[in-house]
Amino acid sequence: MKVYTTAPLEDPRKARTIYKELEDIGYDGGFSFEAKHDPFLALAVAAEHTTTLRLGTGIAIAFARNPMNLANLGYDMQSISGGRFVLGLGSQVKPHIEKRFSSVWSHPAERMKEIVQAIKAIWGCWEGRAPLDFKGRFYTHTIMIPAFNPGPNPYGPPPIFTGGFGPLMTAVAGEVADGFIAHPFNTRRSLLENTLPALEQGLARSGRRRADIEVMCATLVVTADTEEAFAASKLAARKQLAFYGSTPAYLPTLACHGWDELHRELNRLSKAGRWDDMTGLIGDDILDEIAVVGERREIAGKLEARLAGIADSVSITHNRCPDPSHWADVVAALKRDRAAR
């Protein structure tokens, strides 16, 4: 199982050092996240300061851009990184697309599918496989003159990963993407009962097999070196899970365990602004199902047990852990176990 993480990048100027740290620790890949800063620029800098680390957007907001723009960014990043780039795309939510990016939100799963198809059609044109003639419901790309055609990429087009949670978006990944990024608000049971069946439906629609797509599971890890720090890490995780659990879109994970009533109560408290009361409803049983919790020496084994038969890679997700070396021993243990197989 490959080991990834998202770089804790509050200051984009640190991209020149933090991704090199991840590479030196032994991570297989380092991803960027679209929040306060553009997710592509930091990776362009990181590419110049690393040699083996896979670099990817995890995720870039697809609906805030268009397929031609994303095709250019992905193609150039693949070249700059020497073939190490992953174009990771996600949808965000309707209020942000419409009110923050002033873009169009509609039919998110169908739109995501078409974006991926359009990007691949553009790359196919540039690779010399076919003229550009993409006509979809949401996007049309039919003009490509030599002045705007970069020609074949020396490393080939990069893989496209899509992130998702619900069955429709998960099926889209199975149908058209090269990888799927599973949301951290999942349990082993919800991944087996909800996520993988939806992924298989998408694979079947395109005549592909499970081996044709990489499944990357973002997994919340809770551990620390002292009791005080461990308690603080647990509290931060409970707050995050309470927020997710209050959101109707994430109900299926709770429903897998018969925790429907918990969702209703969290949702009620969230509407009343009672955030501290919400956190108290996330008991150890719920925390242990959704997050990987334990002493540092236990984490690698617990991650492998959680994701065995499900994931090809794990992205270690954490709360308030800006120091990449914090997980060095976990990364080393996972890679030792991988080498021993």
Q: What is the pLDDT of residues 227-267, one digit of tens each?
A: 998 999 999 999 999 999 999 999 999 999 999 999 999 99
CA distance 340 to 26: 16
Nearest C-alpha neighbor of 74 from the set 64, 61, 88: 88
Planar angle of CA 264, 269, 270, nearest 5 degrees: 95
Q: What is the pLDDT of residue 91?
A: 94
pLDDT tens digits, residue range 84-103?
A: 999 999 998 888 899 999 99
Token representation of residue 101: 């990016």
pLDDT of residue 282: 97
Question: In the 8-state DSSP scheme, what is residue 97?
Answer: I
**Neighbouring-strand partners of residue 29:** 4, 54
Instruction: Extract the tokens encoding 33.
Output: 């996240």
- The CA distance from 317 to 324, in Å, is 11
Of 1, 7, 2, nearest in space to 326 by CA: 7
What pLDDT sits at residue 308?
A: 97
Give counts: helices (H), strands (E), the chain: 15, 12
For the chain, what is the mean pLDDT? 95
Q: Answer whether residue 126 shows pLDDT above 90.
A: yes
d(CA 138, CA 242): 36
Supply the pTM of this predicted model.
0.95
